Structure 1
Amino acid sequence: MSEDNKNTQNKKNKNKKDKKEKKGLKIFLIVLLLIIVITLGATVGVVIAIAKEAPEIDPTNISDLLNQTSFILDQNGNIIEKIQTKEYRTIVSIEQMPEHLKDAFIAIEDERFYKHIGVDPKGIIKATIDNIKAGHIVRGASTITQQLAKNLYLTNEKKLDRKIKEAYLALQIEKVLTKDQILEAYLNRIFLGQGAYGVQEAAQTYFSKNVEDLTIAESAVLAGIIKSPSKYALYKTIPPEEFDAEKHIEVGQIDSLGEKYIAVFNEEAIKRQRIVLKKMLELGKITEEEYNEALNEDIRSKIKPGQKKIQGISSYFNDYIKVQVIEVLMEELGYSKEEAEEELYTGGLKIYSTMDVELQRQLEDVYNNFTEVLLGNPDNIKGPAFISWRLNSTQDIIDERNNVIFYKQEHLLDENFNLIIEKNTFELTNGQLILKNKKLTPYKNNIEIADYYHIDNRKNLVTHRVGTLVLPEKEFSINEEDKTIIISNKFLENNPDFYSISENGDLLINEKYFYRHKEGIAQPQSATVIMDYRTGEIKALVGGRNVEGLQVLNRATSAPRQPGSTIKPLSVYLPALDNGFTAASSIDDIPHYNDAGELWPNNWYSGYRGIHTLRKSVEQSVNVNSVKVLEEIGIQTSMEYLGRMGIINNNDPTKDNFITSAENSVNNDENLSALGLGGMSKGITPLEMTAAYGSIANSGTYIKPITFTKILDKNDNLLIDNTPEENTVVSPEVAYIMSDILRTTVTNGIAGRAQIPNMTTAGKTGTTQDKADAWFVGFTPYYVTGVWIGNDSPQIKLNQGSSIAAQLWKIIMTRVHDGLENKKFEQPANIVSLNVCSQSGKLPTELCKHDPRGSTVITEIFVQGTQPIEFCETHVELEIDTTTGKIANKYCPKEYISTRIFIKREPPYNPKDHNGIIPADYQYTAPTEICDVHDEKNAIEEFLENEEDEEDNEKDNEEEDKEGIEDIEDFPRKDDEKDNNKDIEKFPKKDNKKDDENINEDNNT
């Protein structure tokens, strides 16, 4: 083929190939277009479908939606509280809001707010780019309108369809509302931390001022909180026990949902504020001068936490309902804490509580008349009621080291509540104020002020908490050598009202520069929980005495205290009954020693009483026996059962009050004192104690306490079905034995004051060292109830022990059981009753009936299979030489020998080994020594003496015979030898070898 023909053919082939490629590309483009159209159509279809699922809205009723709130209902569905609407969200008009406040929120949340139509595509692109550059989410793309739509109409679930619904609803809202109406609704609805919804409530929460009075700096702080209320709130709240004056800066006291917290300054809020201010400057919302002024404003010194008071039939009970609702929403629905709180306060929920309103009213009535119920007319009380205190010469309350715990009110504050600094404890030098006064405790970041007290007209001791001096950190310093406080002249110049000088020369610090609890807290305090142990439902609860003002610290749920002897049935005796002990097991109350070789523990009575059954050890609350049983079963066994009863949380130790060695290797509760006597590091709450005792009453099954049974959402759909957790602690049989022991602790033991008239009653008292806490926890066939009494400051003691708690328990439960039929605890089938010896816990012998104290045969109950099958060996019969009190030997004269019944201790007890300490029953203990006074030599000497006496007697008789021979001859003669032989034959011959064996056996005994 020629070259031309080849070129021509190549061109034809190339054209064919190009045509094929163009055709393939055309087909590909057509297919791609079809895919895009189909995908777009599908996407549009999905979006339309999702949008159709969005709730129908009427944007004109937004003000009504802002007031939509949740309800708590009683067990019958009657409303008992409309949750916190007025206290936590106050609606204000946009005209009341300063411009710089609105500008701050728009600048940081939605800078194009006045330009977009509800959705901001430009903002979405910009946010996407910023997030890609940062590698994580640094800004959101939701507009203010979208955020409002979500808050009003949608949930917090993080799903794509929610975002689509959110955008759709935002477009709908923008059609009918002006931008100012949207902004007003948004600023009244947003959550700003610490339970504050809306800018007005936030202004009160953080600064105790109205929204119109907020400065640029304060407004920027609030706007900064939106991104993360938990991270950027102006202060954080921590429990008092976690407060560290070296690390934290206290700015006030907070009572939230029945729990007391210390409010501490949050530096993160200021860092976020600076970002907001910079953005405001960039957008031209503030000038350079305003920017610098706001940066230099000392926000910390302006923080003044507002106090939130919650109304309702029982803030204590309802507060705990709210706590549990928040926890369940977080655990079961995956909400964050902020989202759960938002749902609770604004979600329109219907929460069905377990409260029995009638029982709650009865309980509150007792607490409203606390002093009168327990002591009668307060006028007859010298006062303060129930308190045992120590006062110094100036009537300040002092501790055992003579340190002031509470100052008398007039010693700390003047009539205008200014702080008194005595004239010899301060000086003004070079414009600086130098303070050195015991009422002030300086730390690196703040200065604490002492607390004070007064006695009210009902003879209650009322204590008042005082916070720290509100001073900028840079405006004071501490001299480390003598701990003097030096306040700068700059601060004094800028705050001329900080102090004044009284007529007598004292320095008076203005009361506006520190926080004080005005109403005070009545002491002693108390808490009670009433629970249906079969369901776990709390029926009534009071967390404190409301004497002057509202006290919202819930001591029933949030204030653990040392349980004292009420811990013994839980940590010692119930585990013991499940691990080889019986109610009849014998335990010897004799001296016991700690690791240092010191006598420990002491009993509540003086000395030691000797052998007890386990039942009697509980009835008499014998400390020694509790420790000895705990030693035998082991610390780990005790902890295992406390875990079953909800006192130890093995899955999350941060959620319990028990301190394990893993949490603190030095100071923890894994010891005999904590578990055997109740001397725990933090303690246990009344609710925890009540629920744990409920597991005994409920046939050995623990049920976690609940305050509500179900939650419906705003559309009455079931949101939560609250079925309580439960687990087996012990068998019903073991639980019944423990219940019966606690019953006789009331009928026969030291808890007699708790006995409810005509009602089966079981329970245990508890008093901590020096009467800082008094307890009674017990149950009936109907309810389990725990009562605690004590002062918030354990350094102030009660003037009575657990008897006062038992008395209060009886008063409460008598009212609760009014009209209820008396019943016995339900006894399982395989419980057997048996006669045993109280000294050995075994089957009795004839000797047990003849104990010198009376018969020791008692009737006891046992789980089938655990009853004793051996006979008592504790009672023994011995021949005793009455002149020595020792075991008689063969040489002891018969006239000195007495057969007696004793108890034989195992191991033997020797007072010489215990510094001469003698238990009360020691006189009945079998001697272990053989008489060493009468032996062979003494017997011979005595025999010879007796022979001489007989010879003398014979001589005397002979003389008498001679004198009276004539009389004798009047009678027939007697064959003396024959008669004597007959008399001797009446007695068996003596086996000396056998006697020796008996003496050796007795000696071994």
Structure 2
Amino acid sequence: MNMNRKVRKVFKVLFALASTFTFLIILSIIGLLLYVKALGPPPLVVSQSSIFYASDGTIIGETNNGQKRYWVPLEQISEHLIHATISIEDRKFFDHDGFDYKRIVGAAIADLKSMAKVQGASTITQQYARNLFLEHDKTWKRKLHEALYTLRLEAHYDKQQILEGYLNTIYYGHGMYGIEAAANYYFDKPAMELTLSEATILAGIPKGPTYYSPKLHEKNAKARQKTILKAMVKQDKLTAEEAKLALDEPLQFVYKSKTEKIDRLAPYFQDIVKNELLNKLGISERLINNGGLKVYTTLHPLVQKTAEKAIDVEMYHDSTIQSALVAIDPKSGAVIAMIGGNSYEQSPFNRAVQAKRQPGSTFKPLVYYTALENGFTASTQLLSQPTSFTFDEGREVYAPANYNNYYQNGPITLAQAIALSDNIYAVKTNLFLGIDKVVENIKKFGIKSHIASVPSLPLGTSLMSVSEMTNAYAIIANGGKKIEPHVIEKVIDQQGNIVFERDYEKEQVLDPTTTFLLSNLMEGMFDERLNGVEMRVTGSSINNLISRRVAGKSGSTPTDSWMIGFTPQLAVGVWIGYDDNRKIEKVKELIYAKRIWARVMEETLKNKRSESLKTPDDVIAVLVNPQNGKRATEACPIQKMTYYVKGTEPVEFCTEHIKDPRKTKERKNQTEKEDEDDGWFQGIIDRLF
């Protein structure tokens, strides 16, 4: 009796302990689940390459640290690869809650029998947790963290999301993370297009990325493929016949990422992309380098290659002098090509954006815009002759000179002054208009660099970048609308969210009529009807390379050679010079910029129709003698259609070529009157300065 009582007492104690233990386990499980829920969903973020795309959708480069990672949605992954992976890695993936307990027990027994770890039991969820958050050490602490992350994944994400994450993060060897990078590297195709044979080869690699690499150990890779195909047959994913065909299919391996083929295209441009992401869009450097961003840029690969070829052809790989080029879409400000120097490997310094140089006479059109706004027309004449200008209340004297000291030594029209690049006319115009007024107007062209308020301003003595000057010309090309040079159109994060998308402004910053007149006058540098007595239009040396209407202006200083020009479809700026500011003395170096510019314009636009700005309603076209700006008669041997604001067009006819004596007398009287008027105008200039 006493024994029975003792036994019952022991049983009661054991039952109480068991009940308490069970309760504590249940309570712990509930607490763990509540804790997992309270922690919320773990972020599905993994370090992966940010990809740079050109305007045509091709990949031009990426950011990476020796690892290539690309994220693609599950529906863009081959079903063969999905079935093969699940069959060999975790056949109960869709049935368990993150842990395969039967498999864990089986693996433990196998390890005990062999006294070593011979069998793995990690599910796809566990492996994904490890890939996302953890170092691959083998401590108990790591295992506990892995289990916790596994529970969090299963609690907050569905199986499709987990599988997608796993396939985008698993390591496939040779620096390739994720199935898209692997398919690209091994077979030069997207993951969606993998065949059954290709998919089963790739599905076998993660178990041992080196041992099962077809590049290093093709025999091992084929043996692993055979195992996977058998598993798929056993799980009714394939027929035996399909498995045999896949095993026997010859495979064509590529072993090269498609981004590696072109990731050096436009390296200076790619640097500016990274700089714009960081400094203009405010995206952190860590996110740029490892955030898996898709960056859609403005680069046109064909235009970029055209520019690179033009420089190679014209400069004959001359590495002693440097070059820079920027091509811009005038309608948007998008930079479609950029060259920052002769060799990025030798010098990553970007001369197209970072260097500030004197733009020379390419600055003149920005001054003449103000002149056109203030009463000047294509026919406005000033004397072209050596002139000294006194300023600063008589304390300073400035005596500019024309190139090679060539002068018209007589009246010259504004149309000729632009075409011949007459310095005297430019300085007179600047001083007559008022330097401060000119400076204020030039800022409308998007010029942000400091402009010195000096008489030599129109001769380009202030320092500017190629990008800045080309954008100013692009504003003329689009009829006076504000644009900003930029290299990024859109940025998407690895979850597909739009981080940034460009919104174009439509602000009119220049008067459309004045801009039209200026654009038309800038076509004059290629029109030999505007040739002077000793001076030829500055574009004459490249007229044989141009087959369409273009506008532009060349410029030079002792150390710099420039050419910038445009159509409504394209604006291109080219600079040539030495980094150490040596003088440009070789004749061939002086023509590099013009010839490179002409080749890029001609090749880029060769399949496009010729365009020009629409003539405003308040503008009239008049046939004039380009040598004096007067209305042309039938007797004038040279005639040119020229544009004016209605009411400002010339009314006087040219009589120089009429043989009637009466007309000769009238012409003499008129000439005397012109001399008086010009003397009066020059007197104003002299008194002012």
- State the TM-score bracket (shorter-chain normalisation): 0.5 to 0.7
The structure that is helix-richer by fraction is 2
Cα separation, 2, equivalents of 1:49 and 1:616: 79
**2:491 paired with 1:711:** yes
- Alignment match of 2:619 (pick from 831, 844, 860): 831
The 3-state SS of whatever aligns with 1:629 is helix
1:58-207 equivalent positions in 2, closer than 5 A:
65-66=46-47, 68-86=48-66, 175-176=144-145
Q: 2:455 is aligned with what amino acid?
A: L
C-alpha contact (below 8 Å) 2:466/2:574 kept by paired residues: yes
Cα shift readout 1:677-713 (whole Å, capped 9, x = no counterpart): 1011xx1111111110001110111311121111111
- Alignment match of 2:364 (pick from 540, 564, 568): 568
1:960-971 equivalent positions in 2, closer than 5 A:
none
C-alpha contact (below 8 Å) 1:543/1:557 kept by paired residues: yes
Cα separation, 2, equivalents of 1:632 and 1:803: 33
- Alignment match of 2:561 (pick from 764, 771, 774): 774
**2:382 paired with 1:587:** yes
**2:352 paired with 1:556:** yes
TM-score (norm 1): 0.40
Indicate the residue corresponding to 1:440 in structure 2.
Answer: none
Q: Which runs of 5+ in 1 are unaligned?
A: 1-46, 90-148, 154-171, 179-309, 331-338, 377-457, 461-521, 649-656, 660-668, 880-886, 888-897, 914-1005
Cα separation, 1, equivalents of 2:602 and 2:619: 30
The 3-state SS of whatever aligns with 1:86 is coil
- Alignment match of 1:316 (pick from 268, 281, 286): 268
Indicate the residue corresponding to 2:232 in structure 1.
Answer: none
Indicate the residue corresponding to 1:646 in structure 2.
Answer: 446
Q: Which runs of 5+ in 2 are unaligned?
A: 1-34, 70-128, 134-140, 148-261, 529-536, 684-689
Cα shift readout 1:927-966 (whole Å, capped 9, x = no counterpart): xxxxxxxxxxxxxxxxxxxxxxxxxxxxxxxxxxxxxxxx
Indicate the residue corresponding to 2:450 in structure 1.
Answer: 658
Q: 1:352 is aligned with what amino acid?
A: Y
Structure 1 residue 621, shift from structure 2 partner: 0.3
Q: 1:670 is aligned with what amino acid?
A: S
Indicate the residue corresponding to 1:791 in structure 2.
Answer: 578
Q: 1:784 is aligned with what amino acid?
A: A
Cα separation, 2, equivalents of 1:587 and 1:873: 20
The 3-state SS of whatever aligns with 2:355 is coil
Cα shift readout 1:888-912 (whole Å, capped 9, x = no counterpart): xxxxxxxxxx9887443245659xx
Indicate the residue corresponding to 2:596 in structure 1.
Answer: 808
C-alpha contact (below 8 Å) 2:629/2:650 kept by paired residues: yes
1:522-671 equivalent positions in 2, closer than 5 A:
522-546=319-343, 549-570=345-366, 572-595=367-390, 596=395, 598=397, 600-606=399-405, 608-609=407-408, 610-648=410-448, 657-658=449-450, 669-671=452-454
Cα shift readout 1:206-263 (whole Å, capped 9, x = no counterpart): xxxxxxxxxxxxxxxxxxxxxxxxxxxxxxxxxxxxxxxxxxxxxxxxxxxxxxxxxx
Indicate the residue corresponding to 1:478 in structure 2.
Answer: none
Cα shift readout 1:647-688 (whole Å, capped 9, x = no counterpart): 12xxxxxxxx325xxxxxxxxx12122x211011xx111111
Distance 1:757 1:602, change over 3 A: closer
Q: 2:412 is aligned with what amino acid?
A: H
The structure that is strand-richer by fraction is 1
Distance 1:739 1:820, change over 3 A: same
Structure 1 residue 51, shift from structure 2 partner: 4.8
Distance 1:611 1:556, change over 3 A: same
Structure 1 residue 809, shift from structure 2 partner: 1.1
Structure 1 residue 646, shift from structure 2 partner: 1.3
Cα separation, 1, equivalents of 2:39 and 2:146: 20
Q: 2:458 is aligned with what amino acid?
A: G
Distance 1:747 1:757, change over 3 A: same
**2:465 paired with 1:685:** yes
Q: Which has the higher contact order (CA 8 A, sep 6+)?
A: 2
- Alignment match of 1:866 (pick from 648, 655, 668): 648
C-alpha contact (below 8 Å) 2:329/2:571 kept by paired residues: yes
C-alpha contact (below 8 Å) 2:54/2:300 kept by paired residues: yes
Cα separation, 1, equivalents of 2:453 and 2:654: 36
The 3-state SS of whatever aligns with 1:728 is coil
Q: 1:70 is aligned with what amino acid?
A: S
Structure 1 residue 822, shift from structure 2 partner: 3.3
Q: 1:822 is aligned with what amino acid?
A: S
Q: CA-atom RMSD, angstroms? A: 3.9
**2:292 paired with 1:345:** no
Structure 1 residue 860, shift from structure 2 partner: 2.4
Cα separation, 2, equivalents of 1:691 and 1:773: 19
Distance 1:764 1:84, change over 3 A: farther
Distance 1:539 1:773, change over 3 A: same
**Max radius of gyration: which structure?**
1
Cα separation, 1, equivalents of 2:487 and 2:461: 29
Indicate the residue corresponding to 1:759 in structure 2.
Answer: 548
Q: 1:601 is aligned with what amino acid?
A: P
The 3-state SS of whatever aligns with 2:574 is strand
Cα shift readout 1:174-221 (whole Å, capped 9, x = no counterpart): 95169xxxxxxxxxxxxxxxxxxxxxxxxxxxxxxxxxxxxxxxxxxx
Distance 1:565 1:716, change over 3 A: same
Cα separation, 1, equivalents of 2:434 and 2:668: 42
Q: Percent identity?
A: 29
Structure 1 residue 55, shift from structure 2 partner: 4.0
Structure 1 residue 725, shift from structure 2 partner: 4.6
C-alpha contact (below 8 Å) 1:532/1:783 kept by paired residues: yes
- Alignment match of 1:698 (pick from 478, 493, 500): 478
Cα separation, 2, equivalents of 1:730 and 1:780: 17
Structure 1 residue 525, shift from structure 2 partner: 0.4
**2:310 paired with 1:366:** yes
Cα shift readout 1:430-474 (whole Å, capped 9, x = no counterpart): xxxxxxxxxxxxxxxxxxxxxxxxxxxx6x4xxxxxxxxxxxxxx
Structure 1 residue 729, shift from structure 2 partner: 3.1
Distance 1:767 1:611, change over 3 A: same
Structure 1 residue 586, shift from structure 2 partner: 1.4
Structure 1 residue 735, shift from structure 2 partner: 1.6
Q: 1:831 is aligned with what amino acid?
A: V
Indicate the residue corresponding to 1:108 in structure 2.
Answer: none
Distance 1:360 1:634, change over 3 A: same
C-alpha contact (below 8 Å) 2:478/2:568 kept by paired residues: no
C-alpha contact (below 8 Å) 1:837/1:858 kept by paired residues: yes
C-alpha contact (below 8 Å) 1:751/1:803 kept by paired residues: no
- Alignment match of 1:821 (pick from 569, 593, 609): 609
Cα shift readout 1:805-824 (whole Å, capped 9, x = no counterpart): 11121122232223333344
Structure 1 residue 580, shift from structure 2 partner: 1.8
Distance 1:901 1:340, change over 3 A: same
Distance 1:793 1:873, change over 3 A: same
**2:502 paired with 1:722:** yes
The 3-state SS of whatever aligns with 2:335 is strand
C-alpha contact (below 8 Å) 2:378/2:415 kept by paired residues: yes
Cα separation, 1, equivalents of 2:356 and 2:38: 50
